[in-house]
Amino acid sequence: MSYTNFKFDVDADGIALVTWDMPDKSMNVFTEEVMKELDAIVDRVAKDEAIKGAVITSGKDTFSGGADLTMLKRMFQLFQDEKAKDPKKAVELLFENTGKMGGLFRKLETSGKPWVSAINGTCMGGAFEMSLACHGRVVSDDPSVKMALPEVKVGIFPGAGGTQRVPRLTNQQDALQMMTTGSSLTAARAKAMGLVHEIAPAKKLVETAKKMIKAGLKPVQPWDEKGFKLPGGAIYSAAGANLWPAATAILRRETYGNYPGAAAILKSVYEGLLVPFDTGLKIEQRYFTNILQSTEAGMMIRSLFVSLQELNKGARRPADVKPTKFKKVGVIGAGFMGAGIAYVTAKAGISVVLIDQTQEAADKGKAHTADLITKDIQKGKATADDKEKLLGLITATTQYAELDGADLVIEAVFEDREVKRKATEQAEAVLKPAAVFASNTSTLPITGLAKVSVRPKNFIGIHFFSPVDKMLLVEVILGKKTSEKALAVALDYVRAIKKTPIVVNDTRGFYVNRCVLRYMSEAYNMLVEGVPPAMIENVARMAGMPVGPLALNDETAIDLSQKILKATLADLGPKAVDPRHVELVNTLVDKYDRRGRKNGKGFYDYPAKPAKKHLWPELKTLYPQQDADKIDVEVLKQRFLFTIALEAARVMEEGIVTDPREADVGSILAFGFAPYTGGTLSYIDGIGAAKFVEIAKGLQRKYGAQFKAPKLLVDMAEKGDTFYERFNPYPVEAKKKKAA
């Protein structure tokens, strides 16, 4: 019998080697076909008396990434289609479908033959749950190997037995920590927790796994044996009494109740450990079915799983342009941003020419890249050889002639049109005709910058976020004359450095900064109204934002906010700025020299370590303070999320962003817009356009024009549209469905 996704061999000792190796896939994933084949293999191993046991491993560099996005999309679509006809039957069907993977893994572990998972690379989600169902687990000693149950990060939780097996293999505290954060485990950490049995050299991985079976590995899981006791004690024990009240409190503190999937983990574990294992699986299945019906899960899966993968794979890339393989990239400007760009480029194995006005400045930029990889070495994420290789790829110089032969040049000089003009002209003088020139500007429109270029078709914006080495998003900005070839090159580059691109048409502030400025602007409004500063920061985090707006403003610099306000006033006139904001920022910068984190004082004070930053005590004296007890926290939360989401809607109306996937993913990756919402547009879709507009009108009447819904949103409310219907990113699928 042959299989499409697996190779099956039995050795002289009667041990089957099941090698998972999907054709035409860079990584193994669970699909309906994979599950069907694995089910048949489990039956084959169980029924063949000549087979003593089985080892399952991967034929690829990684073990598996878990479930395939298309399988999840189909399950959701099937549920929605059935729900329109028969809601009760739809839920029953969803329950049945959610139990298929868990049922397969339970079948494997009760098959009567020992199974060993030989984990040779990254093992995520359902693949790790399958490994936990195996009777033995051996992991490669390769430092790149990571194991995790990261489902909570996309709004769900480990629903194929993960919440029942992990806390039966390790103590409940570690189990909860691992699953509610979705954090990755190294081989050593997994072994220390009792989740894997052995760590072996990569070349001896399968051999070690087979030895476990030869040594008499029992084909019975611990929880299926009589007298099994939970590691660390039962729920109703002294240890349990200490753990569970604290666990629920910590979860509340960390999530503010915004993530139903995380709460469901605690419920599944707590209830599941009070009953036999198979009953625990049913409890997990019911919670999983319930969570899949939540708005949060639907939006998070769509944005942070499906859309994110689609954008990373080039969903917006022009299909008819040949891919670019980068041999050399130039970076002009060796400051903090330029050095960061050079670092991520060299880390991708691409040669970099790092240019600045003086050799000292260029060398300083290269030294910054050395500092970055040194930190990775200290964390065990890189080696001394990696550092030597990376630094060998970076040439620090003052000579523009070194750019000869570069496929792409990125300008990251000071935000001044004249400085950028000189950089553009000097670079283009030596670049080959096909090379693309990009600006990392964060504020200046690309079309205007491209006017000094002798080949505007090859001019584009590639806007990084700070710090470059950590931020996952890159805005690719199209000027009016930017060609599809330049767009393809920019997207190929972003993919090469393993970041996520969104494509944005040209405008002041592009997309992300327009939204971020709204967030900080609403905080200014609250300060002026007398909302206590601590309340502003805390409520923003309660709304789901990772950083309060005042702390964020300190990071970006208050004097930069002052420059932006002055530039906006000069370019667009007095109606474009709020004079109260100008007064606030001028007071902070000019009167008190409070510029942000960079000079150790902004909205916060930044004392020397180990002391922690704290809000500037005098901040609350700038305006008469309201009584905090009389302020509606829910309204404050709404104001933060609505002002950002409304700006995203305006951006869509103006055609600045044209794909809702990019607006959603971009808002989460760039500034952490409440991930549980699925992003700015999914937040509106989740509430419903009609209800959203109604709430916005109420906020507008009380708090100002920033809450006025754009015509697009009003029209969507009248017609019952969503952004993903109005701006459908899957037009081909929509046509097929309509035809059917």
Q: Is 350 helix (H, G, I), strand (E, B) or coil?
A: coil
> pLDDT digit string (tens) for 468-486?
999 999 999 999 999 999 9
Distance CA 293, CA 439 (A): 43
Distance CA 104, CA 368 (A): 50
Distance CA 559, CA 588 (A): 9
Q: Where do the H-state alpha helices sit in 379-502?
A: 384-392, 417-428, 446-449, 484-496
Average confidence (pLDDT) over 173-200: 95
Whether the upstream peptide bond of residue 201 has omega within 30° of 0, thus cis, is no
Distance CA 623, CA 688 (A): 37
- Burial category of 655 from C-beta neighbours within 10 Å (exposed 0-12, middle 13-18, buried 19 and up): exposed
Average confidence (pLDDT) over 511-525: 95
> pLDDT digit string (tens) for 644-655?
999 999 999 999
> pLDDT digit string (tens) for 701-716?
999 999 999 999 999 9
Type of residue found at 667: S
Residue 120, both tokens? 């040779």
What pLDDT, on the 0 to 100 scale, is given for residue 733?
57
Average confidence (pLDDT) over 530-534: 97
Average confidence (pLDDT) over 157-170: 96
What pLDDT, on the 0 to 100 scale, is given for residue 445?
87
What pLDDT, on the 0 to 100 scale, is given for residue 74?
80
Average confidence (pLDDT) over 60-80: 84
Looking up tokens 């079309």, which residue turns up? 447
Mean model confidence pLDDT for the chain:
93
> pLDDT digit string (tens) for 32-41?
999 999 999 9
**Which domains are assigned to the chain?**
6-218+228-293 (3.90.226.10), 328-508 (3.40.50.720), 513-726 (1.10.1040.50)
Percentage above 90 pLDDT, the chain: 86
The CA-based angle 144-157-309, given to 5 degrees, is 55
What pLDDT, on the 0 to 100 scale, is given for residue 80?
83
DSSP string of 204-225, one letter each residue: GHHHHHHHHHHTT--SS-GGGS
| CA 19 distance to own-chain centroid | 30
> pLDDT digit string (tens) for 239-297?
899 999 999 999 999 999 999 999 999 999 999 999 999 999 999 999 999 999 999 99
pTM (2 d.p.): 0.91
Percentage above 70 pLDDT, the chain: 99
Average confidence (pLDDT) over 651-669: 96
> Looking at 446-570, which runs of residues are DSSP E strands?
459-464, 473-478, 500-505
**Which residues contact residue 35 at a Cβ distance below 8 angstroms, ignoring those fewer than 6 apart?**
100, 101, 104
What pLDDT, on the 0 to 100 scale, is given for residue 739?
47
Where b means 16+ CB within 10 Å and e means fewer, 200-229 reads: beeeebbebbbbbbeeebebebbbeeeeee
Average confidence (pLDDT) over 414-422: 88
> pLDDT digit string (tens) for 302-345?
999 889 989 999 999 999 999 999 999 999 999 999 999 999 99
